[in-house]
Amino acid sequence: MKLRRLHRRLAVLMCMSGVIAFLSGAGLDSVAAVPTLFALVLALFWQASPNATIRLERVLLGLSILLAGRALYHVFFMPDDVVIPMADLLLLMVGAEALKSLDALNDGRLYSLSFALLIASTAYRPSILFGIAFLAYTALATVALMVGHIRRQVERRGLREPELARSFLLRMAALSGVALAMSAVLFIAFPRVSRGWASRTVTEERAIVGFGDEVSLAEHGGRIYANPEIVLRVEFPDGRPGPSQQMYWRGRSYDHFDGVRWSHSPSLPLSAATTPYAIGWGGLATIRQLIYALSLDTHVLFGLHPIFAIRPRSRIRPFMDESGDFNYFGNVPPVYEVESYAGKPSPERLQRASEGRAPAADFYLQVPPLSDRVRILADSITAGKATRYEKVRAIENYFHTQFGYTLELPATARQATLEYFLFRRRQGHCEYFSTAMVIMLRSIGIPARNVNGFLGGDWNEFGSYLAVTQNRAHSWVEVWFPGYNWVRFDPTPAASETGDRNATAWYWPMRFIFDGAEHRWDKWVLDYDLDKQVDLFHRAAEQFSRPNETGTGAGHGDTPFGTAFRWLIGLIAFGIVLAGARSAFNRPRVSEATRGYLRLRRAYERAGYPNAPSTPPLTFVRALHEAHAPGANHAEKAVAVYVHTRFNNEVLDDYRKEELKKEVDAARKELKRSRSKVTSDK
């Protein structure tokens, strides 16, 4: 293939990598992205003629002016994202440059524009696709820059193009691994001391049904469809806990129900926010969770309940609101560590709980105007139950045994009511069950509230974390127990359809692998910070310093890793020594005659009769004579021996060896004598 065509294709592929990197961050928000991709694909196989290039430029000039005006308008007059209008302009230029004729020397512009797209994509939070595009870009840039440079040199000098074998081009692409390795080293080692003086990272915030400020039961018609998007990735620093199906990832609680929707009371007093410290949970084990959450529009922090410590790992500021829910300030995806009590207090302890009054009890005993049938039903279920715990369990059990679970929504608005659910339909989704239980408990004077979150999750072996999808969205009940605060109960029957369906889907293993990679990308690239850096270096240092517990290592107090590393260093050192010895051994040996001759030349050079390395021996002697150098006659004899031996290809016998040595020594002696004479004269 001609160099210029090869070069253009490589540059176009670089641009494609840049566009894909940009798409991985900004998505399809930019109107020019898809047309540009089409133009780039076209440019791989077709280029405009020089005349057509001129016409193309005229058309694109007008378009560029329009887009530049739009970009300026956004910069100065619009408060929204300015990157998209700028990127549109950039993309248009990329497409136009790629389609130009092969004669156009626009490789520098293609490099710069494609690189600008990479930079533009860093303004977002791109997916792992950015990483793949970056790898491709680096490999392509290595080859394209090289081919482009050769092309320019050849065209400038009017030379014949050199043959560039395909294997050589592939090797060059593989050598981009050096650049990538350098990139990785710098990325890992460069101290992340800066927290961003003027950072701007746009993160798209997602809205999930059921996690807003209000939750409504009024939806009807149709069905709740599965949504496998992952919202939480949870790592357990202390090791994988037991089965995850009973993990309730608590998000928001709601205290006020108007018959149709749940909401937060704006006037909820601060005293409603209770903590689990120094109360009945104390004896339980704790569980640590490191949670990587999706950016949601409600800014809720999820975790196992009850949470007694929360530490941010990304640039967010967590806070607890009046109801004890955890929220945060910040516009980046929340990453945080949570410490909670595992499980919940035993039934015996809850049985013994006293009948105290809950803080802000008025809010948690609020009941909407419903018919008495609800209270009568609750009374009938709890009749004969002495303690609060027994009553709660009776109602919970009632739903477990008498009701069914379905994702089908009620057919009409009239059917989408609590009473219709309790007395007619007797099946529904989790919101109905939790709402019904809360209202029934409140009707018999037990403070309770509705809570939303996620239930369970799917363990990702590839990434060693629990993936919680939107399918896992759930609603349950919290009941107030004096001394224990809010305790979780779940009235929803166990026949959930969602989790199992995910786990058996044919694509699920693939999705796990991809999600595991995405998680690593987020964790180790996008969210890599000083803490992770320090932690990484500590762990690396530990690999060398940690004593060998088994005592089977080669060296006392060595880790197997440290031993292997020492072996590696030793092997490298041995290789270097071997290579040096081989080089020294292969060096052409200087004959004895040559050594004597060089000794003579060095002596005269030091004495102030310098000679060029290229000066032939006889010229050297003649120069000595002309300069009346001391010992010139001896030097001449020595050189004669040298020339005779060297150029007749003879071996220096003992007699000649002796003669050469004698003449060289004599010449040096005379030189020395003349120097000392000059010194004494002075």
Partner 1 sequence: MKHATSFKIFGNALAFGLIAVSDGIHHPKLFAIPVVLAVLTGADALRPKPRPTTGEDLTIVRQRIKPTGWRARVQQFFRPPRRLHFARSGWAFTGGIFGIGFAALNTANNLLYLLLGGMLGLIVLSGWLSEQALRSLIVRRRVPRGITAGEPARIGYEVTNNKKRMPTLALEVREAGSGQRAFMAGVAPGATSFARADITYERRGIYLLVELTLATTFPFGLFTKERDIELGGTIIVWPRTDRVVRPPMPGGTRARRMGSLAAGAGGGRGEYRGLREYRSGDDPRDVHWRSTARLQTPVVREYERDESDTLWLCLDLRAQPGETAENGVEIAAALAARAAAGGERFGFASADTEVQAGSGAAQLDMVLDALAGARFRPDAPRVVPPAAPSECVLITTGDTDARFGDVYLADRGGA
Entry field: residues in the chain: 682
Query: Which residue lies nearer to partner 1 by CB, 14 or 446?
Result: 14
d(Cα 437, Cα 489) in Å, to the nearest integer? 9
Interaction of residue 201 with partner 1, rule CB under 8 A: yes
d(Cα 84, Cα 31) in Å, to the nearest integer? 9
Positions 149 through 168 that interact with partner 1 (CB under 8 A):
149-150, 152-154, 157, 159-164, 168
Q: Which of 58, 195, 556, 589 binds partner 1 (CB under 8 A)?
A: 195
CB of 31 to partner 1, least distance (A): 24
Q: Which of 5, 200, 424, 539 binds partner 1 (CB under 8 A)?
A: 200
The helix/strand/coil state of 486 is strand
Q: Which of 49, 199, 271, 545 binds partner 1 (CB under 8 A)?
A: 199
Q: How many CA atoms, within 13 angstroms, populate the side-chain half-sphere of residue 526?
A: 29
CB of 152 to partner 1, least distance (A): 7
Interaction of residue 176 with partner 1, rule CB under 8 A: yes
In degrees to the nearest 10, what's the CA dihedral of 286, 292, 293, 295? 140
For residue 3, give the amino acid letter: L
Report whether 388 contacts 487 (CB < 8 A). Answer: no
Bridge partners for 452 per DSSP: 252, 475
- From the list 138-146, 217-225, 352-360, 412-420, the region that binds partner 1 by CB under 8 A is 138-146
Q: Which of 504, 552, 586, 614 binds partner 1 (CB under 8 A)?
A: 614
Interaction of residue 1 with partner 1, rule CB under 8 A: no
- From the list 286-294, 323-331, 428-436, 609-617, the region that binds partner 1 by CB under 8 A is 609-617
Q: Which of 29, 31, 42, 122 binds partner 1 (CB under 8 A)?
A: 122
CB of 22 to partner 1, least distance (A): 12
DSSP H or E stretch at residue 454: strand 448-455
d(Cα 363, Cα 267) in Å, to the nearest integer? 9
Q: Which of 50, 69, 108, 222 binds partner 1 (CB under 8 A)?
A: 108
Sign of the CA dihedral 566, 569, 575, 579? Answer: negative
d(Cα 512, Cα 462) in Å, to the nearest integer? 7
Q: Which of 34, 54, 189, 577 binds partner 1 (CB under 8 A)?
A: 189
Binding mask 513-532 for partner 1 (x = CB under 8 A): ------------xxxxx---
Interaction of residue 618 with partner 1, rule CB under 8 A: no
Sequence-ordered list of residues with C-beta below 8 angstroms from that of 216, at least 6 positions apart, any chain: 260, 261, 262
Q: Which of 130, 336, 432, 476 binds partner 1 (CB under 8 A)?
A: 130
Residue 518 corresponds to which tokens in the numbers above? Answer: 């995405």
Burial 123-158, CB ≥16 within 10 A → b, else e = bbbbbbbbbbbbebbbbbbbbbbbbbeebbeeeeee
Query: Which residue lies nearer to partner 1 by CB, 138 or 244?
Result: 138
CB of 168 to partner 1, least distance (A): 7
CB of 181 to partner 1, least distance (A): 7
d(Cα 436, Cα 440) in Å, to the nearest integer? 6
Which residue reads 């005779």 in tokens? 644
User: Contact positions toward partner 1, by CB under 8 A?
Assistant: 108, 115, 118-119, 121-122, 126, 130, 134, 138, 141-142, 145-146, 148-150, 152-154, 157, 159-164, 168, 171-172, 175-176, 178-187, 189-192, 194-201, 525-529, 610-615, 623, 626-627
